[in-house]
Structure 1
Amino acid sequence: MAHIRTILGVVMAAAAATMLVSPLLAGAEISPAEAQGMPNCDITCGSMSVPYPFGMGPARCYWPGFNLTCDRRSNPPRLLLGDGTLQVQEFSMSNWSTFVTVIRTGDIKVDGNGEGTLGGGLTTNGPYTISSNKLILLGCNVQATLKNSDVIVSSCSSFCKNGDRLSHVRSTLEEGMQCSGNGCCQSDIVFNPAEVAGRLFNSTSYDVQLKWFGWNRSTDQQWPAHVFIARSRWFSGTSVFRKLLRTDAPVSADAMQVPFRLDWEVVGHGAEGSNVCKSKHSDYLTGKKGYTCSCNHGYEGNPYITDGCKDIDECNNEGSAKCYGYCTNLDGSYYCRCPPGTDGDATLQGGCRTPITSDCITSCGDIDVPYPFGIGSANCY
């Protein structure tokens, strides 16, 4: 009799809980159904789709703090967050990883005292934090400190030897020593709202302070310092630092598109796990200051709306289920068995074999021969 194996809730994690909206800049066409926004709400901006809790237009179309705008005057249209200086590139609601990637043009501008601000017009005490990024500094004999109110969240120092300047820095970077402290430094942003509760002025408004410590500041400032908040791998791109370290023309950071990541959680306005995760096939995770949601294993979609998590048809979803026998899709799982007359594990390629018969030799002297090893005809092994 064929052995039947039932597989309940075994799916690839990425397929089970992922809803990732592709980047606008990649030009991918996205079906509005993938975004699953609120009913009767506009959820498209050019090739971008907007998943709830994000939304555009009336307040009913988004959770408070997640409002976006679509600049349809540009070609192609641009999806904007905050005061319009941040362009949305990507959404993620993937397996407890919730973030939105935005692009900011240029570096953080500082005044003659070395003071500047990373703004964006984001809501005070809103859903976003920038902890998954790096502080990057290019300059000679200068220290950059990133603060939120009186809380230091990142800092690093960049040194230059006399006479080295750009040529030495560029050769160092091209050898693979990215931001080692010679003309360039980088540091992780350390930020946990729960640990500094009550001390933060605005969790998405950060002040930058530059401090020069070289013996000749005028010489050091011949190469202007540039400060960026960016995703960790952005500066490792050779083309980026080559543009910044050009010697044949003035350095222009103004036109550079700098991506950084905003982690988000649903906060405030009566947010509780039970009312944030609205799909019945979803669960919630308590975060640093709010909640995030994920579809249960065997489902995918948007856990933040009613019936947003849909059953995955593992039998017809390439890369989801591995069934080399007869596959039957179930609600939240699937059923896989070997064809009649065979036995084994149908989830393994070649796992279904004709059962061992009495014609098979199962021992050699005093050594037993277990299947899948065998002696004799082909059906014995």
Structure 2
Amino acid sequence: MAHITTILGVLMAAAAAAMLISPLLAGAEVYPAEVQGMPDCDITCGNISVPYPFGMGPARCYWPGFNLTCNHTSNPPWLLLGDGTLQVKEFSLTNWSTFVAVIRTGDIKVNGNGEGTLGGGLTTNGPYTISSNKLILLGCNVQATLKNSDVIVSSCSSFCKNGDRLSHVRSTLEEGMQCSGSGCCQSDIVFDPADVVGRLASSTSYDVQLKWFGWNRSADHQWPAYVFIARYDWFSHTPVLEELFRTDAPVSADAIQLPLLLDWEVVGHGAECSNVCKSRHSDCIKGKRGYICLCNDGYQGNPYITNGCKDIDECNEQYPKTCYGDCTNSDGSHDCRCPPGTHGDPTMPDACFINFVPGKQYCGNLICYYYQDEGK
């Protein structure tokens, strides 16, 4: 059996490491290098690039229902969705998620009868749904219901003991726990448009209804009820709590920025796979109401436009590293091998090893060694 001296083993590891390519940061995400829109259409607003089917300006620049507005009066400009109450922050057209991230300012305002509206241009027959968010209620002995027409989208109830003034809510949330119904509550939005076809109103919003059920209405109203629609992790943030619980001044609506995730599909207006997914190397997925397009494995970009799915260069340092040996890119794929004179697993760091030959000299750090088969 061949034995390698300790010093020779160190030399082998150093030589192998020198042949490898430095890895990228672990967990780095890949986004399309070129976000593309329709020809001769403006696709930038401030520092945000707008990919088709979204668009601004003339109707030819977007699929119906995906129109956006760039507000140049702010610095930097704001990209707005719908009626302008929702600010767009991010798009995702990746193969693992299709959403648009927006910001809504302030809680949902209700009148003396406890009635309010979640607007923002979210038409019930349009491309967006709000199912990736939560209904959050802060208040005493009150129930909040979110609905569209007679369809209940979400609901939860919050109870309080007399005189506690929600003090335990602050301590509970600051410990990282979710609202459980004592002083505040939260509930998933259970909304599947495919299950309620024909039952939704043709409005541009969702209705909110508050109903108080405590015996002491004046005590329950001592602390105002707040209703929010936001991402699941938003309400646990300490700055939000500080703003809601302040007593020195009214709550500032501008200080409460609510992040929402809007899922979307291309719907209506003759939408079919053939006219929605326009790029080669793309797949068309039938959704709950419309269609979603995905670039094939080995490609990235915008599948909704002609030639929008581009080959991924897996050998490029900008791509999450999958090859630590000699990498050769090809259309939609790549070849990964250990460097000549080594063997092992080139897809793992430090996993290509030198093929030592008995009697051959190996040099490193000005010192030369011989590999000997001591079993002979």
Q: The TM-score by the shorter chain falls in which range?
A: 0.7 to 0.9
Amino acid at match of 1:57: G
CA offsets, 1:327-347, max 9 Å, x none?
A: 111001111223333333322
Name the residue aligned to 1:344. 344
Name the residue aligned to 1:335. 335
CA displacement at 1:273 relative to structure 2: 1.9
Name the residue aligned to 1:222. 222
Amino acid at match of 1:63: W
For structure 1, which segment, 349-358 or 243-252, has the greater mean C-alpha deviation from structure 2 after superposition?
349-358
CA displacement at 1:196 relative to structure 2: 1.2
Name the residue aligned to 2:311. 311
CA displacement at 1:15 relative to structure 2: 5.8
Change over 3 Å in CA distance of 1:169–1:351 after alignment to 2: closer
Equivalent residue of 2:210, what SS?
strand
Amino acid at match of 2:135: L
Change over 3 Å in CA distance of 1:255–1:175 after alignment to 2: closer
Equivalent residue of 1:53, what SS?
coil
Please tell me whether the aligned partners of residues 158 and 182 of structure 2 are also in contact (alpha carbons under 8 angstroms).
yes
Q: Using the alignment, how far apart are the partners of 1:84 and 1:251 within structure 2?
A: 22
Name the residue aligned to 1:74. 74
Change over 3 Å in CA distance of 1:318–1:121 after alignment to 2: closer
**Counterpart check, 1:251 vs 2:251:** yes
Name the residue aligned to 2:195. 195
Q: Using the alignment, how far apart are the partners of 1:262 and 1:115 within structure 2?
A: 23
CA displacement at 1:319 relative to structure 2: 4.3
Amino acid at match of 1:296: N
Name the residue aligned to 2:41. 41
Amino acid at match of 1:222: Q
**Counterpart check, 1:88 vs 2:88:** yes
Q: Using the alignment, how far apart are the partners of 2:328 and 2:372 within structure 1?
A: 33
Q: Using the alignment, how far apart are the partners of 1:176 and 1:327 within structure 2?
A: 45
Structure 1 residues without counterparts, runs of 5 or longer: 1-11, 20-32, 360-375
Name the residue aligned to 1:369. none
CA offsets, 1:84-139, max 9 Å, x none?
A: 11111111112241111111111111111001111112344010000000001111
Please tell me whether the aligned partners of residues 123 and 205 of structure 2 are also in contact (alpha carbons under 8 angstroms).
no
Q: Using the alignment, how far apart are the partners of 2:147 and 2:324 within structure 1?
A: 56
Between the aligned residues of both structures, percent identity stands at 77
Please tell me whether the aligned partners of residues 139 and 226 of structure 1 are also in contact (alpha carbons under 8 angstroms).
yes
Give the number of aligned pairs: 340
Q: Using the alignment, how far apart are the partners of 2:254 and 2:183 within structure 1?
A: 20
Change over 3 Å in CA distance of 1:248–1:178 after alignment to 2: farther
Q: What is the CA RMSD across the aligned residues, in angstroms?
A: 2.5
Q: Using the alignment, how far apart are the partners of 2:166 and 2:346 within structure 1?
A: 62
Equivalent residue of 2:166, what SS?
helix
CA displacement at 1:148 relative to structure 2: 1.0
**Counterpart check, 1:125 vs 2:150:** no
CA displacement at 1:49 relative to structure 2: 0.9
Please tell me whether the aligned partners of residues 104 and 257 of structure 2 are also in contact (alpha carbons under 8 angstroms).
yes
Name the residue aligned to 2:287. 287
Amino acid at match of 2:61: C
Q: Using the alignment, how far apart are the partners of 1:351 and 1:251 within structure 2?
A: 58
Equivalent residue of 1:195, what SS?
helix
Amino acid at match of 2:129: T
CA offsets, 1:23-68, max 9 Å, x none?
A: xxxxxxxxxx732111100011111110110000011100110000
| TM-score (norm. length: structure 2) | 0.84
Name the residue aligned to 1:207. 207
Equivalent residue of 2:235, what SS?
coil
Name the residue aligned to 1:169. 169
Q: Using the alignment, how far apart are the partners of 2:273 and 2:203 within structure 1?
A: 22
Name the residue aligned to 2:98. 98
CA offsets, 1:281-323, max 9 Å, x none?
A: 1112111111111111111111111111111111113443432
Q: Using the alignment, how far apart are the partners of 1:62 and 1:166 within structure 2?
A: 47
Change over 3 Å in CA distance of 1:257–1:353 after alignment to 2: closer
CA displacement at 1:358 relative to structure 2: 7.9
Structure 2 residues without counterparts, runs of 5 or longer: 1-25, 360-370
Amino acid at match of 2:41: C
CA displacement at 1:266 relative to structure 2: 0.4
Equivalent residue of 2:93, what SS?
strand
Amino acid at match of 2:338: C
Q: Using the alignment, how far apart are the partners of 1:311 and 1:38 within structure 2?
A: 20
Q: Using the alignment, how far apart are the partners of 2:344 and 2:105 within structure 1?
A: 58
For structure 1, which segment, 335-344 or 272-281, has the greater mean C-alpha deviation from structure 2 after superposition?
335-344
Name the residue aligned to 1:261. 261
| TM-score (norm. length: structure 1) | 0.83
Equivalent residue of 2:195, what SS?
coil
Amino acid at match of 2:222: Q
Q: Using the alignment, how far apart are the partners of 2:351 and 2:251 within structure 1?
A: 62
Name the residue aligned to 1:116. 116
Please tell me whether the aligned partners of residues 34 and 49 of structure 1 are also in contact (alpha carbons under 8 angstroms).
no
Please tell me whether the aligned partners of residues 358 and 373 of structure 2 are also in contact (alpha carbons under 8 angstroms).
no
Q: Using the alignment, how far apart are the partners of 1:305 and 1:75 within structure 2?
A: 31
Equivalent residue of 1:35, what SS?
coil
Please tell me whether the aligned partners of residues 174 and 236 of structure 2 are also in contact (alpha carbons under 8 angstroms).
no
CA displacement at 1:190 relative to structure 2: 0.2
Q: Using the alignment, how far apart are the partners of 1:321 and 1:332 within structure 2?
A: 16
